[in-house]
Chain A
C-alpha cells in the first residue's frame, strides 16, 4: 500500500541520487579497505535511512512495507554493504522491540534505533545452531533481579559496530525447544559481553561479522523483551515475514544493478567486429536475467501489498526469499559469463557482486529452510480443508 505516491517518489528519487552520487563511487574503496567511512554512515543517518520501518510514534518513518520495498530497490543498486549497515535497525534488530517490547523498552531503544544513533545487532545464530535455531544453547539463568547469560553467538552482522544486541537465550533449561527461548536487549559494554575477531568473508567486504561471547554476563531483568519468558523465539518468527520480504527486495535491487553492468559491458565490448550484445547466446543470458528480475520484483511487490492489507504472508514471503536469493545468484553468474575474462577481475563491479550475493542464499533462512517452510505450509493449508 502506498499512502502518498508523490511523497514516496520524492523519497525514492532522493535515495537514487544518493546512491549514484555518494555510494556507488566509493563501493570499490569500501571493499578494498573493508570499511565504510564514518561520513557515509553519518549521511545515511541524516537521510533517515535507519528509521525506515520504525513507527512514526517512535521517530521512525513508519513506511508501509510496499513503500519500504520501493526504497530498498533503489538503495540496493549500490553494494549490499550499505543496506547491511541499516539492515538490523530496519529489520530484525528493531522489529522485535516494536512487536513485543514493553513501553519502556520501546521508548528507550526505538527512537535511537530510528535515528541511527545506535546500531542494533540480532544475535540468534550459534556455532551449533544455524538452521536449527531453536536448539540454541546460550543460557539465561535468573539470579535475583538479573539474568546471567552464557554462550557464544556466531556470524553476527554489525556486531563490531552495534550498541545493542537482541540476544536469544534459553531461560528454561528443561525445555530444549523454541518455547524455552527468550529474547533480551543487551547493551554493548555490559560486563561479560565480548566480541570475537571480524570474520574473513567471501564477500560484502566493508560489512563486518563476528562472534558475540557471553561469559557470566549479567543483564537486568527488565532487559527481557516484553518481560515475558519463553516468548522470544515466537517474537523472532513474527519478524521474519517482513524481513524475508525485505531481503528479497535487496536481491531484486542488486540483480537490477548487476544486469545493468552486464548490459553496458555487452554493448561496449566488440568481438568479431560486433558488440557482443548482438550475439544470440549473450542475448539469451541478458533476457533470462531480465525476465527473472521482473518475476522476483512482481512477487515482492505483491507480497508487500498483501502484508500491508494485514493478510498472512508466511508462505509468500518464503517463496520470495527462496526465489529472489537464488535468482540474484543466477543473474550474477550470467553477468560474470557475459563479461568473460573481465568478470574474473576485481576492477569490475560484477566480480564483487558475484561474491557478495552468494550470502543471500544462506542467511535469513537458507533456501532449503524456505523450501521446508513452503512445503509444510502447503500441507497444513491443504489438510485444513
Chain B
C-alpha cells in the first residue's frame, strides 16, 4: 500500500504535524512519499521520496496551484491514499485534490479500523462514524493529534517539482492574531488556580503554566473573591462555563459550583495534595502533589 503525504510549511518552518502523517502511514503499514511546498533548507527527517516545490515561487497559499502539482505527483506515485492534516491548509486543499482525482475523501480521521475503514468524528465531536471509500484512490485528512508523531532519521530523496501556470489567487500575506480580552469559552487550554495555591503571590506560577501550554488562566471562586485573580477568569456557576480540550485544575478541591463550570472539558488534569478531593471524580488524571512543587517543574519540562 502506498501513501502520498502532504506536508505543511509556514513562514519558514516545516510544521511538526507533518510527522503525524508518517505516524498514520506507519499504522496503516504503508509506504510513504511526501509532497511539500516548502524549502530545501527545512526538509523533514525521513527515508522516503520528497517531492519538493519551492514555497517562494509557488506561494505558501495557492490551493489551485498546489492541487495541480499534487495531481501530477499522484500520477507518478500512484498512491492508494493521499493524506493531509485536517488543518486550515489541509481541509482547504484536500477536497480540490479529491475532486480533481474523482476520489473519495474521508475527513478528520481519528483511527484506522479494519481494512479500508476509518473512524472519524461527527456531531461536534460527540459521536463517531466509520467510513469506507468506494474509489481506488482516497483522500484522507487526519485529526490533529490523533496519530503519533513519528520522526525517523534519514535522508529524504528530494525530487524537485516545478510549477507550470501560476494560481488564480493572490496570497497577500499573514496577519498576526489579535490581542483579545479573556474569553475562556474559546480557549483550547485553561489552567485554573484554586485556593490550594496558597496566596496571591503564587498566581504567576499558575499563569506561567497556562502560557507554556498556550492557554488561558482560569480561577475558582474563592480565588476571585479573595481578589487574587480578576472576575473575568472565574470558572463555575457564577463565572463562565467552559469545555476546553485541556483543563488543568491547580489546588482546586472541586466544589460543585466549580465542577458545574468545567466538567465537560475534553481532558481534565487535577493537581491536589488531597487524594480524596472531589475534583478527582471528574479528573482524567489526578496528580497527588503539592501544587507549588509540581507546577513549576512541569512548566520547566514543557519549556524543553
Contact = CB atoms under 8 A, between A and B. Distances in A.
Interface of A: 264, 268-270, 347-348
Contacts of B257: 347
Contact of B238 (A264, A269, A347): A347
Contacts of B260: 264, 268
Interface in B199-250: 237-238
10 contacts: A264-B260, A268-B256, A268-B259, A268-B260, A269-B256, A270-B256, A270-B278, A270-B281, A347-B237, A347-B257
A347 B263 CA distance: 19
A338 to B, nearest CB: 13
Given A268-B260, A270-B278, A348-B237, 10 more contacts: A264-B260, A268-B256, A268-B259, A268-B263, A269-B256, A270-B256, A270-B281, A347-B237, A347-B238, A347-B257
A315 to B, nearest CB: 43
Interface residues of B, number: 9
B220 to A, nearest CB: 14
A168 B257 CA distance: 50
Contacts of A270: 256, 278, 281
Nearest to A264: B260
A264 B259 CA distance: 12
B233 to A, nearest CB: 17
Interface of B: 237-238, 256-257, 259-260, 263, 278, 281
Contacts of A269: 256
Contacts of A348: 237
A351 to B, nearest CB: 12
Contacts of B237: 347-348
Contacts of B281: 270
A168 B147 CA distance: 75
B133 to A, nearest CB: 37
Contacts of B256: 268-270
B221 to A, nearest CB: 9
A268 B254 CA distance: 12
Nearest to B236: A347
Nearest to A269: B256
A186 B263 CA distance: 55
B276 to A, nearest CB: 12
A348 B260 CA distance: 13
A114 B102 CA distance: 56
A134 B278 CA distance: 61
Contacts of B238: 347
B228 to A, nearest CB: 19
Which of A264, A268, A348 has the most chain B CB within a 10 Å cutoff?
A268
Contacts of A264: 260
A103 B260 CA distance: 56
Nearest to A346: B238
Nearest to A28: B238
A348 B237 CA distance: 8
Contacts of A268: 256, 259-260, 263
A159 B260 CA distance: 40
| Nearest 7 pairs of A and B residues by beta carbon | A347-B238, A268-B260, A269-B256, A268-B256, A347-B237, A268-B259, A270-B256
A227 to B, nearest CB: 55
Nearest to B278: A270
A174 to B, nearest CB: 60
B78 to A, nearest CB: 50
Nearest to A348: B237
A268 B281 CA distance: 11
A347 B259 CA distance: 15
B215 to A, nearest CB: 23
A316 to B, nearest CB: 40
A269 B258 CA distance: 11
A270 B281 CA distance: 11
A33 B278 CA distance: 35
A254 B206 CA distance: 41
Nearest to B221: A347
A268 B256 CA distance: 7
B291 to A, nearest CB: 24
Nearest to B281: A270
B114 to A, nearest CB: 38
A165 B257 CA distance: 45
B232 to A, nearest CB: 14
A270 B263 CA distance: 14
Contacts of A347: 237-238, 257
Nearest to A267: B260
